[in-house]
Amino acid sequence: MRETIDIMLTYFSDSKLAGSYFLLFLVSIVLLYYINREKNRWFVLYGILILAVVIMNPIILWILMQVFPSLAAYAPITLLTPVLFYVPFAAAELTDSLKEMKIRRIIIAILVFLIFICGNMCGMVTDFSVAENNITTKEELDIVDYLEDVSPQMVLADESLISTISARGRLIPLFYGRDLWTPDMDTGIMDGYNEEAYTLFDAMKNSEENADFIAETAYEYRCDIIVMDSFEDYPHLLGNYKLAAHTSNYLIYEMK
């Protein structure tokens, strides 16, 4: 249960970096209640129930995570909050309740400004609206271009490159993807990884100490390209692989 609460706190703490639309959602519920509680009763009740029963309830969340372990990311569950519906609806209800055009225009300007700053200036404050680990670097794109040029049969890639290769590459075959380190990502329907694949994944986290094991295991699985973390005094020949290219942070080995 403690782990579940930590996941929730971490998610909401990180989400502040990308704006405060969740706060606008809460404000929208309050506005809908005070503007016209009879008309908006069901909207208010749904908003409160979805927050109290699911989104902010660690017990329900823990149960969902036991049934669907992939939901441990928590983000899919938060999509139940209809932020994109409630915020504009509450804004429309508020402006419609104002009779004087001058006041209505002032309120509209204030609402636009609030939405603007809650979205972190529409993303212009990139240091806060985009997490560093979500930024694709030129180095990563160069590696993707290299892989596309050589057209490998199977690539064993460092965990940090998986998302970039999957998103930017054109059908580059990967030995393992994100589903390997997200427990039961497919909700248990199928599991195509054996114990050795998990061992290899862990070994890739320390490429310098496990370089020989990585090369030996990758060769057994016919991976013709290995992209691993760079380290000092890296060898130009590694088992059945030769160094094909290197960047500031990565080594690219190609089967001889």
Residue 254: is its pLDDT beyond 90? yes
Residue type, 24: L
Q: Is 20 helix (H, G, I), strand (E, B) or coil?
A: coil
pLDDT at 130: 46
DSSP symbols for 129-177: HS-GGGPPPHHHHHHHHHHHHH--S-EEE-HHHHHHHHHHSSS--BSS-
Give 98's pLDDT tier (boundaries 50, 70, 90): confident
Residue 226 near residue 241 (C-beta atoms within 8 A):
yes
Average pLDDT over the chain reads: 78
Q: Is 74 helix (H, G, I), strand (E, B) or coil?
A: coil
pLDDT at 128: 44
> 158: left (phi > 0), else alpha (psi -120 to 50), else beta?
beta
pLDDT, one tens digit per residue, over 209-230 is 999 999 999 999 899 999 999 9
Nearest-10 Cα torsion for 42, 44, 46, 48: -150
Mean pLDDT, residues 112-138? 61
pLDDT at 170: 77
Q: Phi and psi dihedrals of 81, rounded to 5?
A: -80, 115
